[in-house]
Amino acid sequence: MIGVHTVEEIRAAEDALMARLPDGALMQRAVAGLVTVCAGLLDGVYGARVVVLAGAGNNGGDALWAGARLARRGAHADAVLLNPDKAHAEGLAAFRAAGGRLVDLGAAAGALAAADLVLDGILGIGGRGGLRGDAAELAALLRAGRTAGAVVAVDLSSGVDPDTGETPGEHVVADHTVTFGTGKTALVVDPAATVAGVVHHVDIGLGPYLPSPELTVLDDADVATLLPDPGRESDKYSRGVVGVLAGSAQFPGAAVLAVGGALHGGAGMVRYAGPDAVAVEVRQRWPEAIAGPSPDVVGRVQAWTVGSGLGDGREDDVRAALGAGLPVLVDADGLRGLPERFAGPALLTPHAGELARLLGVERAEVEARRLHHARAAATRWNAVVLLKGSTTVVAAPDGRVRVNPTGTSALAAAGTGDVLAGLAGSLLAGGLSPLDAGSVAAYAHGLAGQRAAAGSGYPSAADVLAALPGVLRSLRGVVGAGAVHPLTAE
């Protein structure tokens, strides 16, 4: 699990750690990690052309020290100081002593064009608001590809907002980011995450001084631990039964895909509630599913997935499923029938357009401030909100957030959201909390998207669904109920 901390938390941890270390020691740890990554990116440090862009703060200090170390190893290092009077004094002295040259702004474009590596040390966690003035012009040059070199952001791409993942104005677009101490929201939440490039974490020893993070990014091991593990005494009811209220004459495929997702999410049984014509299609594809016309008569379930491809005219059914007092997942058309606030466990799965409608804002506004709006909706409806899209953010009303690291734009295809809704509903029925069900489902779904893309180039939702069992098998590994019992193994 990667923890993500706020600037305030990082500063407090740095202060506590620095109080126990000699002056400058923490920065040297950061610089050592930065130089290691840069050297690995260069085709040899000796003779390489490195350009350092240095702002007024410690971020500029990191970059100047790294430039100095690379110069000592034979690199041609140039530095552009954005604020020469306030440049980091020790870093600048070390840079000059190592043979680094200062380049004025007029010559910066030429230096960037010839660079093998550009170190973006304009702003780090002290940055607020987009870049301005000369810094904005340099960032625009980089963004326009006016360098042949790799752009390496120090700690963060300058100009992004560290704590929100927003890009309030001009910012650097990096190929790599070398970040220190812990994760930052800007490295995992779009639009800022996109401009971080490949993120390298450098441990500078902050761990013991950081609080337990509100925002986390799961990994394979976390997901393996969270996935339901049927015991030897399990039966189809004890594993959880999930009800799926989805699909319509207009969108029968949504029912087929949601039921398919649900069948692979660990629930012991799937009950489909919908019109006969759709139920026929569902059962043709999934004979193991039970079907009935409405939530009231289809039979007992432990959780409901409601809304994918439901269309209009099913408001009574939606009310019945949401009013059953069970954990619910609400997707797509079901989102039009939300109660004032949820009293029980609930997981909402809007895309940006749907969340925009719910909150009465523009879609672009949701996409620009994904974390903010997911959190706002979670508080407003007292539900976990899984906001789909380029980075899937899962926000709980208690403030916890999980950001999904496995997403891929290969998933941007009609029907993949229906698969996700079924899968997450199945996990709810299996006893996972809405936060766990949403984040585990998004993780597996993203991996299935990656695997499907590897197999078919441009996968359809059916390809993603077909890839799910293999992904879940890999995630569960050989341990657990899926393993062959030692006494019966051949």
Ligand X SMILES: NC(=O)C1=CN([C@@H]2O[C@H](COP(=O)(O)OP(=O)(O)OC[C@H]3O[C@@H](n4cnc5c(N)ncnc54)[C@H](OP(=O)(O)O)[C@@H]3O)[C@@H](O)[C@H]2O)[C@@H](O)CC1
Ligand Y SMILES: Nc1ncnc2c1ncn2[C@@H]1O[C@H](COP(=O)(O)OP(=O)(O)O)[C@@H](O)[C@H]1O
Enumerate residues 380-409 that contact ligand X by CB under 6 A: none
Q: Is 389 annotated as a binding residue?
A: yes
Stretch touching ligand X by CB under 6 A, among 118-126, 238-246, 300-308, 364-372: 118-126
Which of 268, 257, 411, 418 shows the shortest CA–CA distance to 329? 418
Going from the C-alpha of 367 to that of each of 5, 46, 268, 351, 415, the distances in angstroms are: 22, 43, 37, 10, 21
The strand ranges marked E within 159-300 are 176-180, 198-202, 215-217, 241-245, 269-273, 290-292
Among 9, 155, 161, 331, binds ligand X (CB under 6 A): 155
Q: Does 30 bind ligand X (CB under 6 A)?
A: yes
> Which option in ligand Y, K ion, ligand X, none does residue 120 bind, with CB closer than 5 to 8 A by kind?
K ion
Give CA–CA dist 408/356, Å, rounded. 22
Chain-centroid distance of CA 124 in Å reads 21
The residue among 55 and 422 lying less far from ligand X, judged by its C-beta, is: 55
Binding residues for ligand X, total number by CB under 6 A: 26
> Which option in ligand Y, K ion, ligand X, none does residue 128 bind, with CB closer than 5 to 8 A by kind?
ligand X
Q: Give the strand pairing for 241-245 and 303-306.
A: parallel
Contact 26, 204 (CB under 8 A): yes
The residue among 152 and 348 lying less far from ligand Y, judged by its C-beta, is: 348
Chain-centroid distance of CA 213 in Å reads 15
Q: Is 181 annotated as a binding residue?
A: no
> Which option in K ion, ligand X, ligand Y, none does residue 91 bind, with CB closer than 5 to 8 A by kind?
none
Give the max Cα distance, the chain: 81
The residue among 155 and 166 lying less far from ligand X, judged by its C-beta, is: 155
The strand ranges marked E within 254-352 are 269-273, 290-292, 303-306, 328-331, 346-349
Among 182, 416, 426, 450, binds ligand Y (CB under 6 A): 416
Contact 166, 368 (CB under 8 A): yes
Starting at the earlier edge strand, list the strands of the sheet with 241-245.
Answer: 2-4, 215-217, 401-403, 393-395, 384-387, 346-349, 328-331, 303-306, 241-245, 269-273, 290-292
Q: How far is the CB of 451 from ligand X (least distance, A)?
A: 36
Q: Does 158 bind K ion (CB under 5 A)?
A: yes
Contact 307, 317 (CB under 8 A): no
The residue among 209 and 251 lying less far from ligand Y, judged by its C-beta, is: 251
Q: Does 91 bind ligand X (CB under 6 A)?
A: no
The residue among 317 and 418 lying less far from ligand Y, judged by its C-beta, is: 418
Q: What is the DSSP track for 226-254?
A: HS----TT--TTTT-EEEEE---SS-HHH
Q: Does 14 bind ligand X (CB under 6 A)?
A: yes
Q: Does 55 bind ligand X (CB under 6 A)?
A: yes
Among 21, 249, 277, 414, binds ligand Y (CB under 6 A): 414
Q: Is 58 annotated as a binding residue?
A: yes
Among 9, 120, 317, 354, binds K ion (CB under 5 A): 120
CB atoms within 10 A of CB 18: 15
Stretch touching ligand Y by CB under 6 A, among 17-25, 37-45, 123-131, 405-413: 405-413
Enumerate residues 344-403 that contact ligand Y by CB under 6 A: 351, 388-390, 392
Contact 442, 223 (CB under 8 A): no
Q: Is 300 annotated as a binding residue?
A: no
Q: Is 126 annotated as a binding residue?
A: yes
Q: Does 473 bind ligand X (CB under 6 A)?
A: no
Q: How far is the CB of 165 from ligand X (least distance, A)?
A: 16
Q: Does 142 bind ligand Y (CB under 6 A)?
A: no
Element spanning 89, H or E: helix 89-97
Among 2, 87, 111, 131, binds ligand X (CB under 6 A): 131
* Residue whose tokens read 């002056």: 23
Binding residues for ligand Y, total number by CB under 6 A: 18
Element spanning 381, H or E: helix 370-381
> Which option in ligand Y, K ion, ligand X, none does residue 129 bind, with CB closer than 5 to 8 A by kind?
ligand X
Element spanning 118, H or E: strand 117-121
| Lookup: tokens for 56 | 């007024």
The residue among 45 and 432 lying less far from ligand Y, judged by its C-beta, is: 432
Q: Is 220 annotated as a binding residue?
A: no
Contact 356, 338 (CB under 8 A): no
Going from the C-alpha of 402 to that of each of 83, 296, 382, 385, 442, the distances in angstroms are: 38, 34, 16, 10, 10
Among 159, 191, 247, 407, binds ligand Y (CB under 6 A): 407
Q: Does 258 bind ligand X (CB under 6 A)?
A: no
> Which option in K ion, ligand X, ligand Y, none does residue 415 bind, with CB closer than 5 to 8 A by kind?
ligand Y
* Residue whose tokens read 């042949």: 148
Contacts to ligand Y by CB under 6 A = 332, 351, 388-390, 392, 407-409, 411-412, 414-418, 420, 445
Contacts to K ion by CB under 5 A = 120, 153-154, 158
Residue list, annotated binding site for K(+): 59, 120, 158
Contacts to ligand X by CB under 6 A = 14, 18, 26-27, 30, 55-60, 62, 123-129, 131-132, 135, 154-155, 180, 204
Residue list, annotated binding site: 58-62, 120, 124-130, 155, 158, 254, 309, 351, 388-392, 417-418
